[in-house]
Structure 1
Amino acid sequence: MRDTTYQYGRCLAAAFIVKITPPENIYHRMWGAALHDQAEGVHQQLECNVLWLRAVDGSAELLLLSVDHCLFWKDVNEAFKQTVSDACGVPLDNIVVYFTHTHGAGLMDPGRSELPGGDLIAPYLAELGQKVAKTCEELSDQLEQVWLTAGMGNCGLATNRDYYDVERQGFVCGFNPLQSTDQTLLTIKVARENGELLSVISNYACHPTTLAWDNKLVSPDYVGAMRKTMRHALGRIPIVFVQGASGDVGPREGYVGDVKVAERNGRQLGLANLEVLAGMPEIPSRYSYDGAVVSGATIGVWSYKPFSESELEDLSSFTSWSREVLLNYREDLGTAASVSQKIDELEAVQGSADARAWTEVQQRDHRALLEREHRKLTRISKLESIESFTYTIRSWSVGEIVLLGLNGELYNCYQTRVREAVGDRAVVVGTLADGSDCWYLLDQASYGKGLYQEEASVIKQGGLEMLIEATIKVLNLA
């Protein structure tokens, strides 16, 4: 019998860290409640952690870009990927941008160029694309044989964030101590054949919303401190953070302006990753049962043994697939014209004489309502049809390890149900892959409660369950 605590894969890989911190006075407002528009400094450097995987025989490849931003709009992300693809030769379908989803880096919307610091967005995005593209071009001749070792752990950082406020008689988006969440951590070691560490993948579901409207510093939120904690023990290696299914998940302590809280949250996750890594074998091999030894007790003995040639062949398999699922849009989204009219009305009130007498709270609330409408306009003006959204589930498998590329913000139950259904394989549930064109995907039971996530969703009830079913079906056939 072979132990399945760890899963393995074998391929070629190269990795690198690209610093992508924007100007310290760039447009920064990410939160509706924020009273500032521009950043006033930098908390920690933003990064793009690059990991290039290729089949041993060169038949398939995947370029992972873990980017310290909340997300990019679709056209911005497509331009970014095209720049990278042109430089390194990897086809667009084999490049996936995993946004870490920090809410402390600013909203990189070129359409906000007229706002304070907004003129810096487009030049910054162009520079970011060129820097990452140059790095990937240079990595193309650095691919080397590696082992992937995947292990599961647990971290208590993540909590449910759909809380019912009794006084308001409605749900708010905040820590809910009454409901549990999936705190599973999947950590993957990427190491050379001699055991030397090349990179680490960390897959965990928790919204990086430690820092909120009071924060005026560019920050990767807890992800930066997670990397710092891990590098203190492992050295300065690329750490590819992949956001899990965190639509209804956030940190217990969040929505603050104190960067020390983000650092504490990050240390917690960093140490959890190190715990998983500490238990892994230095050189991947088969851990199997040898038999009994009679001692003071009859002992069952296990030991590591080299993989057989056939096992090595299986662990070196590198495949990819995609599956399209048609998801119906909600029928109550309204029209771009009606939302634009609401924006005009709110802006007129904001510019009126009465507004000059508003308290700080009144200013904050009005700005937040206006921001909600702007984002609603962004959501519904980018719909590809009036009936359905074509959702593409993407997957890459290296040996016993599966990496999913999932657009949007999925509720936590997606990852638990998929992982439970696919047996002993390690499944990286990577959401916000290439952004969030479909926005939130809630489970059926969460519709009709007045949740923020439903307000910010364009997909009709039942869409998430369709994705879960399609993912499980294809993975079990792969």
Structure 2
Amino acid sequence: MRDSQFKYGRCRAAASTVDITPPDNMYHRMWGAAVHDQATGVHQSLEVNLLWLQSGTTAEGDIGVNVLILSVDHCLFWAADLEPIKQSLSAATGLGPEQIVIYFTHTHAAGLMDSTRAELPGGELIAPYLAEIGAKVSVAAAALPDKLEEMWLTTSNGHCSLAQSRDYWDEARDSYVCGYNPVGNADSTVMVIRLCDLGGNAQAVLVNYACHPTTLAWENRLISPDYVGPMRRTLRHALGKIPVVFIQGASGDVGPREGFVGDVEVAVRNGRQLGLAALEALAAMPVEPAEFSYDGAVVSGATIGTWSYKPFSSDQVESMSRFESIQTSFDLEYRSDLGTREQTQHDLDALLAAGADSNGGVDAARNQRALVERLQRKLTRFRGLEEGDCFHYQLRAWRIGDVCLLAFNGEMYNMLQLDLRAAFPGLALMVGTLADGSSCWYLPNRESYGKGLYQEDASIIACGGLEQLRDAAIAMLNIQGHQ
């Protein structure tokens, strides 16, 4: 009998880290309730962690399958601001856009990098900063092919209670709010992938966990990666200064138990909690990839069942080195009650003309700014809508041995990763969301529509879209024979 606790893959890989910390007076407002526009300093550095994976040269001399993964410390970039960065990466590496995936860690404390906000305090820094990011990551990515070497991918699942349900029924308001729900459910899975060279040295770590990085909110005025930064520091304290690629899971309905605060020390504690959980998963891994199988009984005071590690056979190594790129596309229907761009603009103009209640003090001013921000975000959603009644969704995945990396655009409810992993227990599934941003916005599960939740208000896809997406992902993997 073989133990299947750990899953393995093998390919050529290289990784690096780039500092992308913006100026400390950068436009910073991310929260509607914030009364400030500019940052006043930096809590921790922002990073991009890059990982290039390659299948290796085929017998015909082709370079095989390639994917370049970037983990970026920002909430997200709108499509118009992201596209130049992807084009720069493509030109620098020779990879097609479909071979490059930019995952956002989704920190809400790095500011909304929207180049159309140039007229706001600190907003004039946004466009040059985005251009600088594009230049930096392109240089770093172009250097990775020369560093590619054969590596083992070893996966392990740990558990962390940082993430909790964030759909809470407020009895006083007689409505749902976006906040900690002590009786809700959340997936605690922390998926960790260790990338080691053939000498057994860890060269990079990938951490996949679903939890909205909303520790820091409107009272915070410091640029911060939220809990993701302290998580990386915790890992590097034990492993050395290696790239730590954080991939946000399906966290649409989950966030930290202690969140929406201004105290950066809370983010440090939250990150340390996740970092220690990831280290526990890493500590459980075998020193070298090998098969852990049953040896037989040894008669002692009790009859002992003994297990040991054995080297993989050449056939097993070949199977674990199989590297495939998989993709599918399909249409998701838009909601029929989105309203119109014209009406939203009219509502925004009226709100701006009315201004805040002069007798309402700070709270009235904050509420008015928040309502303006809501309508501006709604206009942004309208600008991104495609022609017709549907959103054309493209789903990508890469399988390396028993490891499968999924790239979902948008913000999905926790259900997605639970259902996918249940459907494929023989695979180590990295469920990565916010891949190339969130053009389709939120996808709540069917039961969450009609409740007045924030996530439904911020969605453009009709009820049932998440279930359709899940089913399409399962079908895509099944078609490839990956039951």
TM-score (norm 1): 0.98
Task: Give the one of 399, 417, 435 matched to 1:397.
Answer: 399
The residue aligned with 1:21 is: 21
CA shift, 1:79, in A, is: 1.2
The residue aligned with 2:7 is: 7
- 49-58 or 433-442, larger mean C-alpha shift: 49-58
Q: What does residue range 174-193 of structure 1 map to in structure 2 within 5 Å?
A: 174-193=179-198
The residue aligned with 1:457 is: 459
Matched AA of 2:393? Y
Count of matched residue pairs? 475
8 Å CA contact 1:67, 1:100 repeated in 2: yes
The residue aligned with 1:384 is: 386
Q: What does residue range 204-353 of structure 1 map to in structure 2 within 5 Å?
A: 204-350=209-355
Q: Is it true that 1:127 corresponds to 2:129 in the alignment?
A: no
Gap regions ≥5 residues in structure 1: none
**Structure-2 separation of matches of 1:228 and 1:458:** 37
Q: Is it true that 1:424 corresponds to 2:426 in the alignment?
A: yes
Cα deviation, 1:271-325, whole Å, max 9, x if unaligned, reads 0000000010111011111111122211111111111111111000100111112
The residue aligned with 2:60 is: none
Matched AA of 1:103? H
**Structure-1 separation of matches of 2:401 and 2:160:** 26
8 Å CA contact 1:324, 1:390 repeated in 2: yes
Task: Give the one of 113, 118, 125 matched to 1:113.
Answer: 118
Cα deviation, 1:68-124, whole Å, max 9, x if unaligned, reads 000000121121111011111122111100100000000000000001100000000
**Structure-2 separation of matches of 1:379 and 1:467:** 20
Q: Is it true that 1:48 corresponds to 2:29 in the alignment?
A: no
**Structure-2 separation of matches of 1:268 and 1:279:** 17
8 Å CA contact 1:56, 1:316 repeated in 2: no
Cα deviation, 1:348-399, whole Å, max 9, x if unaligned, reads 112xxx7444310111011000000000010012100230001111100011
**Structure-1 separation of matches of 2:173 and 2:444:** 22
Secondary structure of the 1:119 match is helix
Task: Give the one of 161, 165, 168 matched to 2:166.
Answer: 161
Secondary structure of the 1:448 match is coil
Task: Give the one of 407, 410, 415 matched to 2:417.
Answer: 415
**Structure-1 separation of matches of 2:286 and 2:87:** 39
Sequence identity percentage: 57
Cα deviation, 1:40-78, whole Å, max 9, x if unaligned, reads 100000000011110133310111100000000012112
Secondary structure of the 2:146 match is coil
Task: Give the one of 432, 435, 438 matched to 1:433.
Answer: 435
Gap regions ≥5 residues in structure 2: 58-62
- 148-157 or 54-63, larger mean C-alpha shift: 54-63
**Structure-1 separation of matches of 2:39 and 2:215:** 17
Secondary structure of the 1:141 match is helix
8 Å CA contact 1:422, 1:476 repeated in 2: no
Task: Give the one of 192, 198, 202 matched to 1:197.
Answer: 202
Q: What does residue range 94-105 of structure 1 map to in structure 2 within 5 Å?
A: 94-105=99-110
Root mean square deviation, CA, Å: 0.9
The residue aligned with 2:156 is: 151
